[in-house]
Amino acid sequence: MSEENKNFEDGTYQNGPKYSNEVLKDGKTIAIIAHMTIIGWIIAFVMNNNAKNAYASFYIRQSLGIMLGIIIFSFVPVIGWLVNVGFFILWIISLIGSLSGELKHIPLLGNQFQEWFHSF
């Protein structure tokens, strides 16, 4: 695991500049796949288990939290549908963040998702 990958996991990435092409190239594709339905998330999870990439892990955790929120609130009529519109907006923000090459927490829940799903 490279030094930059270790910094991602330690949390010191927040103070750093852009990341090397090696870390981004490996993790960016996996991060984008993680946003494409639950099947895409499973594929990204398996791909990331072979060679852990902290950039990919960050977005795997975010997309897992968003997808679980959508699934949970889909069973609540009316209010759940409105909340799911909010989760869809968070999904778009997270997808744009994964495309940009920077670690961007989604508003409101991003830090919690990173803590709750840290084992991924």
pLDDT tens readout for residues 12-29: 444 443 567 777 878 888
d(C-alpha 73, C-alpha 49), whole Å: 29
Share of the chain above pLDDT 90, in %: 43
pTM as predicted: 0.77
Token duo for residue 107 = 């508003």
Which candidate, 93, 110, 109, places its Cα nearest to that of 14? 110
| pLDDT, tens only, 16-62 | 435 677 778 788 889 999 999 899 999 999 999 988 888 999 999 99
Token duo for residue 63 = 């997309």
Number of domains in the chain: 1
Strand, helix or coil for residue 9: helix
Whole domain around residue 29: which residue ranges?
3-10+18-116
